[in-house]
Amino acid sequence: MSVLTPDIRPSAIATVNPVAKLAVALLISCALMLSIDWVSAAVALLLEGMLLAWCGLNARQFWLRTAPVWIAAPFAMLTTVLYGEDSGAVLFSAGIVSISDGSVALGLAIGLRVLAIGIPGIVLLATTDPTDLADGLAQVVRLPARFVLGALAGLRLVGMFIDDWQSLSLARRARGVGDGGGLRGWARRFAGLAFALLVLSVRRGSKLATAMEARGFGSDEPRTWARPSVFGLRDGLVVLLGVGIAAAAITAAVLAGTWRFVLA
């Protein structure tokens, strides 16, 4: 298993067109970006949670993959509570740290937002083969094939970065310049390695481009697609579900009186 050929367990969500999943993730993100309040984020999170049962991830996979957002959310919340803009009754104050009714509400709103936006994104990634996503973007959204397939082929080179990085750092140790110099030496070596990796990748990328061109890629002639990417009724319903979640979150916040339009 790798980034490009993930093991995807059969599930209801795995068979949905990746474009529909991407649309859902974008719809929810956009809706939640419009306001910073805890009600809209909580409603969206609740509704997403009900859908997770169909995502085909078992508990271990789910927690492992979403761990970054579970770590990020409390941190975002905590910093906002401590350092965020104060309003309402001040509950605690010491130096630049202060906790007020307003900062607690803001912190809660931001923490829930990180979860509500992060989780659909991760579920999208975990249940989508990058090749299928590229097929969808090119055939359903009609993005240019040159751009989509170029990016997909480039993604494969990223997978080789780790091996290259290791070889390059071993080679530097063998050349007598692999350690010493304290923090500054470390920073200089890191920059040197990063640059060497860039050079190596550009060279490999240009060879790959030649190989792709030799197989007829990049001309202006029309091309066919070996794997059909179909956007069916079910995919449309999934998008509607996303619209529904976004609408429910906004409506609930407006009714509860917590809606704070960020652009207002």
Partner 1 sequence: MTGAKVTASGWGWRHAGRSQPAVSGLDLDIQPGERVLVLGPSGAGKSTLMHALAGVLGDDEDGDETGELRVDGQRPSRARGRVGLVLQDPDSQVVLARIGDDVAFGCENLAVPRAEIWPRVRRALAEVGLDLPLRHPTSALSGGQKQRLALAGVLAMQPGLVLLDEPTANLDPEGVVEVRDAVLRSVRASGATLIVIEHRVAVWQHLVDRVIVLDPAGGVLADGPTDSVLSTEGERLAAAGVWIPRFPPARPDRRPVVAAAAEILLHTEDLAVGRVPFARKRAAVVADGLNLDVRAGRATTISGPNGTGKSTLALTLAGLLAPAGGRLAADDALAAGLGAAPHRWRSRDLLERIGTVFQDPEHQFLAGTVHAELAIGPRALGLSPAEQTERVDSLLHRLRLDHLADANPFTLSGGEKRRLSVATVLATRPRLLVLDEPTFGQDSRTWAELVRLLAELLDAGTAVVAVTHDADFVSTLADVRLVLEAGPGTTTDRRVPGGTVAVPARPAGGRAG
Q: How far apart are CA 15 and CA 11, in angstroms?
A: 7
Q: How far is the CB of 143 from partner 1 (least distance, A)?
A: 16
Binding string, 207-246, against partner 1, x = CB under 8 A?
Answer: xx-xxxxxxxx-x-xxxxxxxx------------------
Interface pick for partner 1 out of 144, 192, 232, 236 (rule CB under 8 A): 192
Binding of partner 1 by 180 (CB under 8 A): yes
Query: Which residues are bridge partners to 99 per DSSP?
Result: 92
Min CB(177)–partner 1 separation in Å: 6
Residue 179 binds to partner 1 (criterion: CB under 8 A): yes
Amino acid, res. 115: L
Q: Is the dihedral of CA 254, 258, 263, 264 positive or negative?
A: positive
194 near partner 1, rule: CB under 8 A: no
What is the greatest pairwise CA distance in the chain?
69
In angstroms, the Cα distances linking 131 to 28, 79, 125, 153, 212 are: 24, 39, 12, 10, 16
Please give the Cα distance from 28 to 18 (Å, whole number). Answer: 16
CB-nearer residue toward partner 1: 152 or 241: 152
Residues that bind partner 1 (CB under 8 A): 2, 4-5, 129-131, 149, 152-153, 156, 159-160, 162, 164, 166-168, 170-180, 192, 196, 199-200, 203-204, 207-208, 210-217, 219, 221-228
